[in-house]
Amino acid sequence: MFGNWLKTGILMAGIVALFGTIGAALGGGQGMMIALLIAAGMNLYAYWFSDKMVLRMYNAQEVDASSAPQLFNMVHELAQRAQLPMPKVYLIDEEQPNAFATGRNPEHAAVAATTGILRILSARELRGVMAHELAHVKHRDILISTISATIAGAISSIGNFGMMFGSHRNGEGQGNPLAGLLLMIVAPIAAMLIQFAISRAREFEADRGGAEISGDPEALASALDKIHRYARGIPMPTAEAHPATAQMMIANPLSGGNLRGLFSTHPEVGERIARLMAFARG
């Protein structure tokens, strides 16, 4: 838990430093001050509201025992088994099978599943997936996972910031030509920050924790195999537009290519399945 807090702090400090450096380069002292204020405000907002921002980004709709009884009751039962507060439950209208957890702590957590995953998985497999997401909540992975997703917005903000100061400094309505190249420089830096903050080992730990919560590691292994096979042929436009959110998903939702591949933080599905099956045998 302390390690996640430390990484969260370093991640936030990295965003502030990144904004300040670029602000100084584009707008001098005034630019640096404005950039630092933006970064500080963004970090404050990210801590309190990043979960709501990500859920809104995916147009997630909250459900309850009457609107989605199977999913809601399943999460309720698993939360009791994990000795966790009942999280909010959301559905995302996306064909790609996937799921994620978000929130700043177990008391303010939410789990979300796509309509696609409800269609392709059996009840047993879906139970394994939801247990995996609750393991993320129990391990307190969700704060750093959700905050790091806001880097996608930070990248856009830096690009807009560069265009604004480019226009101001040349006195014309057009932006600084360098601002057009800014995202090409900043995106890999942001991806490196995410790679630092989000360890691939956390997925193995969530798989193990989910298997313990559900008591059925083979169901999660089967679900991962099925999700991997289906997801490769079904794009998720929101994830493609905001690749930094991909690390929140149980399976990588990105098609890869260009800068998107830099944001991949998921271990190989085959290795995850092998570990789950070994856990089941053990």
Domain ranges of the chain: 2-150+195-281
Q: Is 172 a catalytic residue?
A: no
Q: Which fold has domain 2-150+195-281?
A: Zincin-like (3.30.2010)
Selected catalytic residue, list 94, 125, 133, 203:
133
* CA dihedral angle for residue 5, residue 239, residue 96, residue 113, rounded to 10 degrees: 40
CA 61 to chain CA centroid, Å, is 17
- Tens digit of pLDDT at every position of the chain (282 positions): 555 556 666 666 666 676 667 666 666 677 677 766 776 676 666 667 778 989 999 999 999 999 999 999 999 999 999 999 999 999 999 999 999 999 989 999 999 999 999 999 999 999 999 999 999 999 988 877 777 666 555 655 555 555 555 554 544 544 455 555 655 566 566 655 655 556 678 899 999 999 999 999 999 999 999 999 998 889 999 988 887 788 889 998 987 654 545 556 688 999 999 999 999 998
Q: What is the DSSP letter of 133?
A: H
How far is 65 from 118, CA to CA, in rounded Å?
16
> In the chain, how long is the greatest CA-to-CA distance?
69
Q: What is the DSSP letter of 173?
A: S
pTM value?
Answer: 0.78
Q: Helix count (H) and strand count (E) of the chain? A: 11, 4
Nearest to 233 by CA among 99, 96, 92, 94: 96
Burial of 267 per CB tally in 10 Å (0-12, 13-18, 19+): middle
The residue written with tokens 């939360």 in the block is 79
